[in-house]
Amino acid sequence: MKFVNMIELRVVFVLLYCVVSSYSYNILAVFPHEGKSHQWIFGPIIRELVKKGHSVTALVHYKFDLKSERYNEIILHDPDARGLEVFGLDDLEVSLWYAQIRSSDLLLNEGLQSCEVMFSNSHVKKLLKSNVKFDLIFGELFNSECTQGFALRFKAPLVAISTTMIMAWHNGHFGNPDNPSYIPNNHIWFSDRMSFSERMVNFLATTYAKVVYGAFFDSNRRLLEEHLQMQIPDLDALTRNTSLLLVNSHWSLTFTRPLVPSVVEIGGVHIQKNKPLPKNIEKFINESTHGVIYFSLGSMIKGHTFPQEKREAFLKAFARLPQRVLWKWENETMPGKPDNVMIQKWMPQFDILSHPNVKAFISHGGLLGTTEAVHCGVPMVVMPQYGDQHTNAKAVEANGGGVVLYLKEATEETVYQSLKTILEPEFRAKAKALSERFRDRPMSPMDTAIYWVEYVARHKGAPHMKTAAVDMPLYQYLLLDVLAFLAAIILLFSYISYKILSLVFRSVFAKKKVKQN
């Protein structure tokens, strides 16, 4: 009995310690980009921060279903105003490598527009003029630097989040290695094992992205000065002061690369417990003797924009398979649809992928859907269209999670053979092995994210996490000064040696000449 009382006493002490040692922070969350899929990454983190007892004020484009006295929301604009979320496959048909490289310009220009939308909001203007104190700024680091302005204005450390693999132009913020010989650029469809020509293209793409980013840098600085009403002489120093970057990637899927302590991978952070399926979808899946193939191109590409020839190729291939097909299709009807295909405007993707009878996933290679399929161990046929989807597709293929099929190469036979490949038991076993590697971590992605956000707040920005490389000029980082000094020493030694040898040879030949005479 005394032993039990001792245990109870210890439990009470532990609980008291947790209460006393816990902190509640006031956090400002800033997400200027208008892509809805980006909000699906940081949304769960905000929800968890509020659940942990922190107060969060969020600047977002789409309303969260989050009701709490500790949560305040500022909607930046009407989400239907610009239609950023809708693409047609006919618009994305041409995807040449040099067009992918040039996409950096469009992306950075869109970033400036998003900043203007955010700073023009009357509620944001009021916030910037207020005397509210924030312990931490939590914001997206993607295609602009306007989040940095809030860290400057409120004199609070910044924890950034990248909803894609880290962009080429952000590595310098943290002194993070980004050698293009084996680290593929986000917008190029290469793996981490590149041929000579691929390394050349990857080097040019990475260099071009950084140069274009530098060209936009001054525009970012002027925009911040205008809206914050303060001088920012050195925006580069401000960006290097970012405390931490949470990246929506994981080495088991998106290639292994070196990361400094201030860059932390949290790939899969958006994945929650799966929910029960709608009755009609559950019935369709359960009654399929040979399993189900799920087909979706995400939220930004609408399936009904398929060119007729390509749609017919997929339908003919599906008709040859014993599996049933769930196809996310935005129209009410689909001409030529075989009996084993079910269409619906919206489908709960993760809940479908979690069902054990789902055998394959046809995807566009978006990072969210790719991560969900890998988490569930479902092999993929990936048809990348734009942005980081090409890199994601190559990563899936390289790690045994699926095969790549470009839309321009899609015929009845190539679609059929691609699906037959990933439906083989051996291939499905490789996808399961990838899933096990992806899920095998000491902490869940969400626990990792929350721990590091709170860590930065606890340690007042955690400047000790930064490497010395952050403050090094490029010539020092690349050891150009050391190489130049060593080259000068070698040249000087060579010159002195040459002079000495010249004198010796001249002396020897002069003596021989005298003897001969």
**Where residue 442 falls among pLDDT bands split at 50, 70, 90?**
very high
Residue count (the chain) = 517
* Res 8 pLDDT > 80: no
* Res 95 pLDDT > 60: no
> Which tens digit of pLDDT belongs to each residue from 172-181?
889 999 999 9
Helices of type H across 378-479: 389-398, 412-423, 425-439, 445-458, 474-477
pLDDT at 514: 63
Q: What proportion of the chain, given as a percentage, has pLDDT over 70?
A: 89
Element (H, E) at 294: strand 292-295
Which is higher by pLDDT, 103 or 418? 418
Q: How far apart are CA 129 and CA 187, in angstroms?
A: 39
* Res 47 pLDDT > 90: yes
* Res 70 pLDDT > 90: yes
Query: In Å, how far are 10, 14, 167 from 4, measured between CA atoms?
Result: 10, 15, 55
* Res 422 pLDDT > 80: yes
| Average pLDDT over every residue of 97-119 | 80
Q: What proportion of the chain, given as a percentage, has pLDDT over 90?
A: 58
**Where residue 512 falls among pLDDT bands split at 50, 70, 90?**
low
- 223 backbone dihedrals φ, ψ, rounded to 5°: -65, -45
| Average pLDDT over every residue of 46-68 | 93
pLDDT at 31: 93
**Where residue 513 falls among pLDDT bands split at 50, 70, 90?**
low
Tokens matching residue 243: 């405390």
| Average pLDDT over every residue of 349-361 | 97
* Res 165 pLDDT > 70: yes
Query: In Å, how far are 103, 301, 306 from 91, measured between CA atoms?
Result: 14, 10, 10
Question: How would DSSP label each residue in 205-236?
Answer: HHHHHHHHHHHHHHHHHHHHHHHHTS--S-HH
> Which tens digit of pLDDT belongs to each residue from 21-38?
457 899 999 999 888 888
CA 438 to chain centre: 16
Q: What is the 3-state secondary structure (H, E, C) of 64-118?
A: CCCCCCCEEEEECCCCCCCCCCCECHHHCCCCCHHHHHHHHHHHHHHHHHHHHHH
Tokens matching residue 447: 């626990």
> Which tens digit of pLDDT belongs to each residue from 143-155?
888 899 999 999 9
Query: In Å, how far are 311, 312, 412 from 317, measured between CA atoms?
Result: 10, 8, 5
Q: How far apart are CA 75 and CA 294, in angstroms?
A: 34
Which is higher by pLDDT, 95 or 156? 156
